Amino acid sequence: MERSPAARNLRFAVIGAGMSGILSAIKLREAGYDDFTVYEKADRLGGTWRENTYPGISCDVPSHLYSYSFEPNPDWSQRFSPGAEIQAYFEGVARRRGVMSRIRFGDEVTRLEFANGRWTLETKSGHRDEVDVVIAATGVLHHPKLPDLAGQDDFEGALFHSARWDHSVKLDGARVGVVGTGSSAVQIVGAIVDRVAKLSLFQRTAQWIMPQENPRYSEAERAEFRKHPELVTKLHEDMAVLFSAFSNGLVDANSPQMKAIEDACLANLEQNVRDPVLREKLRPSYKAACKRLVMSDCFYRAVQQPQAEVVTEGIERVEAKGVRTRDGRLHELDVLVLATGFRVDRFLRPIRVVGRDGIELEQVWEKRPSAYLSISIPGFPNLFMLNGPNGPVGNFSLIEVAELQLGYVLQLVSRLRAGCREICPSEEATVQLELDRTEAAKHTIWGSGCRSWYLDDRGVPMSWPWTFDRFRAEMSAPKLEAWEQKG
């Protein structure tokens, strides 16, 4: 890339070596920025795919879509490939693209402070760095949300969160309890039911289940993909169009797409759950896709196995031998899995972030996190988030979201390279956009009357409430009147 004579050299810190951090490293280099470090607190890259290793884990976005647009993979084994394969994909991309040597592993960023046009970064080990730009690629579904069940510490068996799977614990022939009915629980139940002696699924709220076939790609198909990479790129693009059509329906609770999804889920329930009592237990009382839509082709089969039970009585407490429900019954267990989701309001935190004039992010986000276009925060110049607050997180490929956001960020960064020292969104533009966003969010499917991780403390969906096409258009070029530039 050609530089003007006045171009500044910029130093970057990327925080997190998951999907968006790896993407950032690759795209920074491509844009001609070579002075950067990727900070990763763990000893391995991969983010979500490093941390979630529970049985049955896969991504319910088709693999050919859940890939970087510039790194098509002819070798995906299935339409929805398992987690380990996705982890291997990211490791392969990072190795091939020379990202590995740029990652500082095993050191957690604890503090960021902005002064005189630069960020000072500190890590747990005491390492310091001074950079012009910070890209926070810290993930969304990252901090496990543990339920506050009475007596949890008394349990004599093994107890762990779905994102902290303890692979030393024997499942074969064990009595296993699973708390939760989100995507994680549904995948776990389908994968372990045939191995365990007893499976108790503690369901607080029934889920709509979208049937999902998962055909394998034959060796012949994969050979064809290897020979003609353009076929893989075409698949990626076609799937992106299909997903856009689906996601455009999410923002209108009464759209034909939402009706079609509910019809498909309802037919799945009616046709595939034989016992009328169980069918009623599994029948949700809210609109399909209000909670994050769960896709599975084996969940209903799993919960109809003789060793499985869907327990709908609330949990009273955990005891030494198992879980006691409110009807007084003790469900004896050897293993209790908490598939209870994540704290989705953390983003950069627990990093302590001090912006311009000493303002603390913790204070700015005291009520709830927010950011202009989910990317940047007034008063925190040259700090950009990927998959930040209130962005498009509902049933999209977060890779596509991150690629679009990074393209937008790089356009802002080019202004820094050209000589501007500080860039951040104006307070006015941020407040106005947030007002418009919350108003629009009320009409989306996520605001149609259910409890879910999409909702903030006011019950407003924390998501992009307009079509994905509008998001794409917004990301194509920054509206510079919304950005304050200094220096």
Binding site for ligand NAP (CB under 6 A): 58-60, 141, 147, 162, 179-185, 187, 204-205, 292, 315, 339-342, 451, 453
Compute the distance between CA of residue 329 and CA of residue 338 in angstroms, rounded to an integer. 19
Q: Which is nearer to ligand NAP, 199 or 315 (CB)?
A: 315
Q: Which is nearer to ligand NAP, 181 or 438 (CB)?
A: 181
Instruction: Supply the minimum distance, in Å, between the C-beta of residue 427 and ligand NAP.
Output: 31
Sign of CA dihedral 388, 393, 399, 405: negative
Q: Which is nearer to ligand NAP, 131 or 176 (CB)?
A: 176
Residue (of 380, 407, 404, 391) closest to 483 by Cα position: 380
Compute the distance between CA of residue 456 and CA of residue 458 in angstroms, rounded to an integer. 5
Instruction: Supply the minimum distance, in Å, between the C-beta of residue 20 and ligand NAP.
Output: 15
Compute the distance between CA of residue 433 and CA of residue 397 in angstroms, rounded to an integer. 23
CA 26 distance to own-chain centroid: 20
305 by DSSP, 3-state: which?
Answer: coil
Instruction: Supply the minimum distance, in Å, between the C-beta of residue 163 and ligand NAP.
Output: 7
Q: Which is nearer to ligand NAP, 179 or 251 (CB)?
A: 179
Instruction: Supply the minimum distance, in Å, between the C-beta of residue 338 and ligand NAP.
Output: 8
Instruction: Supply the minimum distance, in Å, between the C-beta of residue 31 and ligand NAP.
Output: 30
Q: Which is nearer to ligand NAP, 28 or 295 (CB)?
A: 295
Element (H, E) at 265: helix 256-272
Residue (of 241, 223, 242) closest to 232 by Cα position: 223
Q: Which is nearer to ligand NAP, 39 or 202 (CB)?
A: 202
10 Å CB burial of residue 275 (0-12, 13-18, 19+) is exposed
> Following CA atoms 143, 164, 111, 147 in sequence, which dihedral angle do they give, to the nearest 10 degrees?
40
- In order of 28, 77, 128, 372, the CA distances from 33 in angstroms are 5, 35, 20, 24
**Residue whose beta carbon is closest to ligand NAP:** 182
Element (H, E) at 95: helix 83-96
Instruction: Supply the minimum distance, in Å, between the C-beta of residue 225 and ligand NAP.
Output: 22
Q: Which is nearer to ligand NAP, 342 or 466 (CB)?
A: 342
Instruction: Supply the minimum distance, in Å, between the C-beta of residue 293 and ligand NAP.
Output: 8
